[in-house]
Amino acid sequence: MRFYSGELTARYFPFAYPIRRKKMPYVNIKITREGATVEQKKALIAGVTQLLADTLGKNPATTVVVIDEVDTDNWGIGGRPVTELRKESQ
């Protein structure tokens, strides 16, 4: 059995080790799953992409924005689930 360094392996298997010359901006947004519409999420993605372009000079074509929606049962503040906190505030 032979072991090869990453450089040697990348030379023989370039499809498995893509060359990364420029890093893509990656933004991960986490929100509670409480009814954000498709249009709102679309606007959020477009807005964050534009913000990175305007502020940091990043290329919008390579900017990645991911929105994760988390159930309020799985999101805690101060040691308590958001579901409980929302019920108390109503």
Q: Which residues are identified as catalytic? A: 25
- Structure-token pair, residue 51: 């913000």
